[in-house]
Amino acid sequence: MIVYRTKNDLTRHLDTLRKSGKSIGLVPTMGALHRGHASLVKIAKDQNDAIVVSIFVNPSQFNDPADLEAYPRTLDLDLEMLQGLKADLVFVPSVQEMYPDEVIRTFDLGNLERTMEGAQRKGHFQGVAQIVSRLFETVAPHRAYFGQKDFQQLVVVRRLVEILGLDLEIVACPIIRDEDGLAMSSRNVRLSREERKAAPFVHITLQLAREKRGSMSPAEVKMWVELRFKEQPIMKLEYFEIVEDKELMPVTNWGEQVNKVGCVAVQLGKIRLIDNLIFD
Ligand code: AMP
C-alpha cells in the first residue's frame, strides 16, 4: 500500500496503471474508518485491478464549524485498517492541496439540494460536489463507490456525473449496521452511552413505517412516524420523507411506478443521525 499526499505523485502512479490497461476504483472517505467503509473497499477491490481510497475531511461540506472541529480523525488506525484490506493506494491530501485557490464551481443540483439534508444543511451538497468533482478529476477512476447510507449524497453524485459528462460508473453499496440496527457512522463514537442505547429507535421506526404500507397512505405513514418521534423524549425528528430516487420528490401514492426510499434525520444529543430504507 502506498500513501500519497499530493495530486502530482498520485496521478503519476495512476497514469502508469492506466497505460498498462488496469481498471481503477475510487473510494472517497473522510476517515475515522469503520466496517461501513471497509465494505466499500472490499467491493471496490473485487471489481477493479487497483483502488484508491481517499481520506479527506472536506471543510466545504460542513455547514457547522463546530461539527468540522469535532469530526473524529484517526489516520494511523485508518491506514492500519486499509493495509489489512490490501488497499493499493491511499490519498491523504491537505486542504491546500485540494483547494489551492478560491475558485469554487457551482453545480445546478435543483431539488436535490433543496430537500431533506439540503434543507437542513445549507451548502452541504455544493461542498460535496466540489470535493467529489476534484477527486474525480484527479483520479479519473473507472468506478467510484458510495454508500447507500448517505442516500441523498449518492443521488447527488450520480447527478454530478451527468453534469460533468463523465464516463464513470457509480456503484451504490449497501448500508452496514451494528447488530442492533444502528447504521454505522464515524460520528457515532460521539454518542453518550444513553444516546447510543436509544439510537436503534431510528432504524426500528423505518422498518415499522415500511410495514404500514398495506394500511396507510404515504402521508399517513409520515404522520405516524412524526407522532412516534414526538413520544420519544431523547431525540428530535428533523424530517421523515418517502421519496423517489431520481429527483427526491415525495411519493404521494404507493402505486407510483418509482423506486421509493424512506429517509430520516434526527438530532440525538450533539449528533445528527441519518438513515434510510428502501420502501418498495
Ligand atoms: P464518510 O467517511 O462518512 O464521508 O463516508 C465515506 C463513504 O462511506 C460514503 O460513501 C458513505 O456513504 C459510506 N458509508 C459510511 N457509513 C456507511 C455505512 N454504515 N454503510 C455503508 N456505507 C457507508
Q: Are strands 235-244 and 260-268 parallel, antiparallel or unpaired?
A: antiparallel
Give the distance (Å) from ligand 1 centre to CA of residue 73. 15
| Domain span(s) for CATH 3.40.50.620 in the chain | 2-173
| Domain span(s) for CATH 3.30.1300.10 in the chain | 186-278
Report which secondary-structure segment, H or E, holds 268. Answer: strand 260-268
In CATH terms, the fold of domain 186-278 is Pantoate--beta-alanine Ligase; Chain: A,domain 2 (3.30.1300)
Q: Of 252, 59, 262, which Cα lies nearest the Cα of 148? A: 262
> Does any ligand 1 atom lie closer than 6 A to the CB of residue 78?
no
Give the distance (Å) from ligand 1 centre to CA of residue 131. 15
Residue with cell string 409520515: 222
Q: What is the pLDDT along the chain (280 residues), one digit of tens a residue?
A: 999 999 999 999 999 999 999 999 999 999 999 999 999 999 999 999 999 999 999 999 999 999 999 999 999 999 999 999 999 999 999 999 999 988 889 999 999 999 999 999 999 999 999 999 999 999 999 999 999 999 999 999 999 999 999 999 999 999 999 999 999 999 999 999 999 999 999 999 999 999 999 899 999 999 999 999 999 989 999 999 999 999 999 999 999 999 999 999 999 999 999 999 999 8
Q: Model's pTM, two decimal places?
A: 0.97
In CATH terms, the fold of domain 2-173 is Rossmann fold (3.40.50)
Q: Which of 13, 34, 37, 142 is catalytic?
A: 37
Ligand 1 nearest atom to the CA of residue 153, by list position: 12
Residue 94 gets the label, from left (phi > 0), alpha (psi -120 to 50) or beta, of: beta
Q: Is 37 a catalytic residue?
A: yes
Pocket probe mutation, ligand 1, options 26, 27, 29, max atoms within 8 Å of Cβ = 29
> Does any ligand 1 atom lie closer than 6 A to the CB of residue 44?
no
